[in-house]
Amino acid sequence: MKNAIKEFIEPTSKEKQQLWEKAVFVFDTNVLLNLYRYSAKTRNSLLAAFESFKERVWIPYQVAYEYMRKRCEVIYETVQRYDQFKKEIDIFTGKAIDTLRLTSVDEEVSELTRYLIKWLDSNKDRNLLVLSAEKDEILDKILTIFDGRVGNNIDAAELERIKEEGKGRY
């Protein structure tokens, strides 16, 4: 019975230790794409983990394909978030002026605007590593870490068969 319901049985300490020593870590596309979205601290921690387990990481071809296909879009989206937030600062200070019955020349409003822009620029400098697809340090690291650790491409007929099997199972 134990083998039939294995997913419900808590592994022993020894089994857990063996997993950490021998398991292959397989990642999906979003783990790689989120490297562009994360703070510098989170991104660096994840890249360090990839590097430390380099001999035991692997991704399916589909993950590599989706990463490369969506990478530029995610870079653009992440850069745009900072630009959009800068516009939100103007909206926010405008609401502060209206709500608190201030004037746009009030020193407090200017001070608030300067503070928010300084904070945003500092956050952007600290966390936004990639500004364009041409200079992509994250891609360089991913290409190195996963070199020789990507599954084979599946031809279109095999992929269609797998999709049909998935529909049937669903």
Confidence of residue 127 (pLDDT cuts 50, 70, 90): confident
CA separation, residue 110 to residues 66, 95, 122, 149 (Å): 44, 14, 18, 53
Tokens read off for 45: 């921690």
Domain boundaries, the chain: 11-151
Per-residue pLDDT tens digits for 17-70: 999 999 999 999 999 999 999 999 999 999 999 999 999 999 999 999 999 999
Is the Cβ–Cβ distance between 37 and 78 less than 8 Å? yes
